Amino acid sequence: MGCIPTNEFLMWSNCGNNCKFCWQKKRADQRTILNESEKIASIDACMSMLSNLRDSDVLIVGGEVYAPQEPSVNAELSKLFALIANKIKLGEIRYFYVNTNLAYNDMVNIDSLMTAFIGIESSIKFTTSYDVYGRFASIEEEDAFIERSHNLTVKYPMLKKYVT
């Protein structure tokens, strides 16, 4: 296949984690803070672009996409994950890069993602950051991050996580 491009989709900037190092926070562009219907439109636009994508890796990021959203947005994200998983099964996409801060307790979208990827978990490149500068406001938040990361490993032993 040679050199494989990575197509990055920045879905939205809505994130409540407030990390000091976040370039989106520093930019503070209110036009990138989306409401429920705009998030669905963003997901739909992404799916439309992915429909014709071949010989690529895919990265979905931005505004903590994997944190719990409104139920309608969660449902649309589930469709997005299923589309990506299907394209991987067809050999049209090689890897799906998931970049998340794990700063949330409700794993509804991670569970949806993992359901779509049953049997092809090795195609997920799951990345998070244990960046103690600016990520955690307290030792309790840091401990919660470690616990969520551990629980993810226990619940999904086939998932390989990359922590930087």
Contact indicator for 90, 122 with CB cutoff of 8 Å: no
Q: What is the pTM of this model?
A: 0.90
Question: How far apart are alpha carbons 19 and 137 in whole angstroms?
Answer: 9
The domain segmentation of the chain, as residue ranges, is 6-163
Half-sphere exposure of 97 (CA within 13 A, CB side): 17
Predicted pLDDT at 12: 86
Question: How far apart are alpha carbons 23 and 27 in whole angstroms?
Answer: 6
List the pLDDT tens digit at each of the 164 positions of the chain.
568 999 999 898 776 666 666 655 655 667 667 899 999 999 999 999 999 999 999 999 887 899 999 999 999 999 999 999 999 999 999 999 999 888 889 999 999 999 999 999 999 999 887 776 777 777 888 888 899 999 999 999 999 888 77
Predicted pLDDT at 23: 57
Predicted pLDDT at 95: 97
Give, in order, the Cα–Cα distances in Å from 116 to each of 24, 83, 94, 129, 154.
Answer: 29, 9, 15, 24, 18
| Closest listed residue to residue 11, CA positions, set 75, 73, 95 | 73
Predicted pLDDT at 27: 59
